[in-house]
């Protein structure tokens, strides 16, 4: 199915003119959408590409509505990491994102029982909306990191397709289970203390556990944010890089360590409020088209 989508999208791309490097530099922010791209789901266009664009590296737009120029691939295997689920081709990011993974995985390898990190989804080669799954991960600044402590860093591609991470939650995420370790705490702490990091999403029980266990500097806890899911992996979101004028940061987390907020999440999990019969039904999610994305994303799709 993914192959068919890529073939269809590739045909659409061939129908549109391919920009030269000079033309790419001259693209106006008011550039119109080529006729061949109009009405086409953006995920089909971005999902068709197997490599990054021939452009200077730059994220355009926001984490859930953008694209990535000049993305680079995280090597499938490194001294302290392995990229997982290689068939998805989502081990692409902004260069600073790749550097962050190298740095954090080296710190993880110093923890007892950890050879490094297993890295899940980053972005597609050119970012943008994904063929399946995430709403974010569109500008190469989001990283999913598995909770499973790596015992080996020589997994074959087939093993990386079939191995699963571990869940650390209990009681629907209100508490951690017996798979949680102090090493998880220290790796999350190391990530949060990195100035490149904007926030980290993890299930509520993990945040409360870290709040209860941390006896030293607590300022880093502000970046640890409770969110649904995120018990098989934690999600690191980096700040927009300096000088990336088209990149849109998420609003900073509220002041303070955020522990009371996480405790409220846990309370609501254990004591769910009664359903509101008057609440409007959620609207179906609309597929993003190129007109929803920053205008620079047209050149990202069209670039060699």
Query: Which stretches of the chain are assigned E, i.e. beta strand?
Result: 58-62, 65-69, 72-73, 77-78, 81-83, 92-93, 117-119, 142-146, 169-170, 175-176, 197-202, 224-226, 233-238
Which range marks the domain in which residue 85 is found? 72-271
> Does residue 140 lie in a domain region?
yes
User: How much is the pLDDT for 31?
Assistant: 54
Q: Is residue 25's pLDDT more than 80?
A: no
Reference 87, options 12, 6, 154, 13; nearest CA is 6
> Does residue 62 lie in a domain region?
no
User: How much is the pLDDT for 5?
Assistant: 43
Interatomic CA distance for residues 182 and 188, integer angstroms = 10
What is residue 89's DSSP assignment?
Answer: -
Q: CB-hemisphere CA count at 13 Å for 80?
A: 17
User: How much is the pLDDT for 166?
Assistant: 98
- CATH at 103: 3.30.1380.10
Q: Cα dihedral angle (50, 144, 66, 57), rounded to 10 degrees?
A: -60
User: How much is the pLDDT for 19?
Assistant: 37
Q: Is residue 51's pLDDT more than 70?
A: yes
DSSP string, 64-83: TEEEEET-EEPPSEETTEEE
> Does residue 172 lie in a domain region?
yes
- Integer angstrom CA distances of residue 18 from 75, 219, 222, 292: 28, 48, 45, 21
Write b or e for each residue in 258-289: b if 16 or more Cβ atoms lie within 10 A of its Cβ, otherwise e: bbeebbebbeebeeeeeeeeeeeeeeeeeebb
Residues whose CB is less than 8 angstroms from the CB of residue 145 and which lie 6 or more positions away in sequence, other chains included: 104, 117, 118, 119, 120, 191, 233, 234, 235, 236
> Does residue 92 lie in a domain region?
yes
Domain count, the chain: 1
Quick one: pLDDT band at residue 275, thresholds 50, 70, 90?
A: confident
Judge whether 101 and 73 are in contact, CB under 8 Å.
Answer: no
pLDDT digits (tens, 9 = 90+) for 128-137: 999 988 889 9
User: How much is the pLDDT for 276?
Assistant: 87
pTM over 0.95: no
pLDDT digits (tens, 9 = 90+) for 63-108: 999 999 999 999 999 999 999 999 999 999 999 999 999 999 999 9
> Does residue 91 lie in a domain region?
yes
Q: Is residue 274's pLDDT more than 50?
A: yes
pLDDT digits (tens, 9 = 90+) for 178-231: 999 999 999 999 999 999 999 999 999 999 999 999 998 999 999 999 999 999
**Mean pLDDT across the chain, nearest whole number?**
90
Q: Is residue 124's pLDDT more than 60?
A: yes
233 vs 3 pLDDT, higher one:
233
Quick one: pLDDT band at residue 118, thresholds 50, 70, 90?
A: very high
Interatomic CA distance for residues 167 and 291, integer angstroms = 38
Task: Give mean pLDDT, residues 29-45.
Answer: 79
> Does residue 82 lie in a domain region?
yes
> Does residue 252 lie in a domain region?
yes
24 vs 129 pLDDT, higher one:
129
User: How much is the pLDDT for 278?
Assistant: 85
Rounded to 5°, angle at Cα 177 from 174 and 183: 110
Helices (H) and strands (E) in the chain, counts: 9, 13
Quick one: pLDDT band at residue 22, thresholds 50, 70, 90?
A: very low
pLDDT digits (tens, 9 = 90+) for 153-184: 999 999 999 999 999 999 999 999 999 999 99
Task: Give mean pLDDT, residues 42-50.
Answer: 95
> Does residue 15 lie in a domain region?
no
């Amino acid at each position: 199915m993914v192959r068919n989508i890529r073939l269809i999208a590739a045909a659409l791309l061939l129908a549109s003119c391919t920009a030269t490097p000079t033309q790419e530099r001259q693209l106006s922010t008011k550039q119109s959408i080529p006729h061949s791209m109009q009405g086409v789901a953006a995920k089909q266009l971005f999902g068709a590409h197997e490599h990054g664009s021939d452009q200077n590296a730059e994220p355009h737009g926001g984490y859930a509505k953008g694209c990535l120029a000049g993305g680079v691939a995280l090597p499938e295997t490194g001294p302290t990491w392995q990229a997982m689920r290689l068939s998805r081709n989502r081990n692409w990011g902004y260069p600073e994102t790749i550097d962050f993974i190298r740095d954090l995985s080296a710190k993880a390898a110093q923890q007892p029982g950890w050879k490094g990190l297993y890295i899940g989804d980053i972005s597609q080669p050119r970012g943008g909306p994904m063929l399946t799954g995430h709403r974010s991960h569109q500008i190469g600044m989001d990283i999913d990191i598995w909770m499973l402590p790596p015992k080996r860093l020589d997994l074959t591609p087939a093993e990386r397709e079939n191995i699963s991470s571990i869940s650390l939650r209990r009681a629907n995420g209100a508490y951690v289970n017996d798979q949680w370790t102090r090493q998880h705490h220290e790796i999350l702490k190391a990530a949060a203390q990195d100035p490149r990091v904007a926030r980290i999403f993890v299930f509520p029980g993990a945040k409360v556990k870290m709040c209860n266990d941390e006896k030293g500097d607590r300022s880093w806890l502000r970046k640890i944010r409770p969110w649904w899911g995120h018990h098989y992996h934690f999600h690191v979101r980096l700040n927009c890089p300096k000088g990336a004028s088209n990149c849109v940061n998420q609003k900073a987390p509220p002041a303070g360590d955020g522990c009371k907020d996480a405790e409220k999440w846990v309370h609501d999990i254990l004591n769910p409020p009664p359903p509101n019969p008057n609440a409007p039904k959620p609207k179906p999610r609309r597929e993003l088209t190129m007109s929803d994305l920053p205008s620079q994303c047209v050149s990202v799709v069209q670039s060699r």
